[in-house]
Amino acid sequence: MKPSFVSHTDYQQFVFDRLRQHYSNGAAVLVRNDWPVIWKCYISDLSHTTSFLCEGYSAKGPAPRDPASMLRSYLLFLLVRPEIGLTKWVDELYRVPLYAILSGFEPGDIPGVGTFYDFLSRFWAAEKSHLKPKVKPRRRKPKRGKKGEKAPTTSTGKVKRLVERILRNGMPKQHQPFDRLLAFFQSQIIAVSEKYGLLGNATALTIAGDGTPVVTSAYPRSKAVCDCHARGIAKCHHPRLYSQPDCDSGWDSARERYFNGYHLYMLTAANSPHDLPLYPKLQPASRHDALSFVVSTVEFSQRFTLGMVDKMLLDAAHDAGAIYDLLAHQNIQPFIDLNVRATKNLETHSDIRISPKGIPICLAGLEMKRNGFEPPRKRFKWICPLMTTRTKCACTTPCSSAKYGRSFHTACKDNPRLFPETPRDSEAWKIIYKRRTTVERSNKREKMDYKLESGRHRSTKMWYIRLYGIMICQHVDAWFAHRKADLEPLQTQWLQSAS
* Rounded Cα–Cα distance for residues 230 and 444 (Å): 47
Whether residues 149 and 233 fall in one domain: yes
Domain assignment present for 169 = yes
Q: Which domain holds residue 79?
A: 8-123
Residues of the chain scoring pLDDT < 50? none
Residue 386 backbone dihedrals phi, psi, to 5 degrees:
-105, 15
Q: Are residues 160 and 275 in the same domain?
A: yes
> Is 1 within a domain?
no
Residues 203 and 299 in one domain: yes
Contact 292, 267 (CB under 8 A): no
129 belongs to a structural domain: no
pLDDT for residue 474: 98
DSSP 122: G
Same domain, 260 and 203: yes
Rounded Cα gap, residues 219 and 121, in angstroms:
26
Whether 140 is covered by a domain: the verdict is: yes
Say what the pLDDT of residue 399 is.
78
CA–CA separation, 287 and 295 (whole Å): 11
Residues 195 and 263 in one domain: yes
Q: Which tens digits make up the pLDDT trace of 107-145?
A: 999 999 999 999 999 999 999 999 999 998 887 777 776
Q: What is the pLDDT of residue 155?
A: 62
What is the per-residue pLDDT for 275? 95
Which of 420, 386, 396, 213 lies closest to 313, judged by CA?
A: 420
| Residue 345 pLDDT | 67
Is residue 360 within 8 Å of residue 384, measured between CB atoms?
no
Please state the pTM of the whole predicted model.
0.91
Q: What was the pLDDT predicted at 314?
A: 96
The pLDDT score that the predictor gives to residue 498 is: 58
210: CATH: 3.30.420.10
Asked whether residue 226 falls in the same domain as residue 92, the answer is no
Total number of domains in the chain: 3
The C-alpha torsion from 292 through 294 and 297 to 303, rounded to 10°, is -90
In this structure, the answer to whether residues 380 and 304 fall within a common structural domain is no
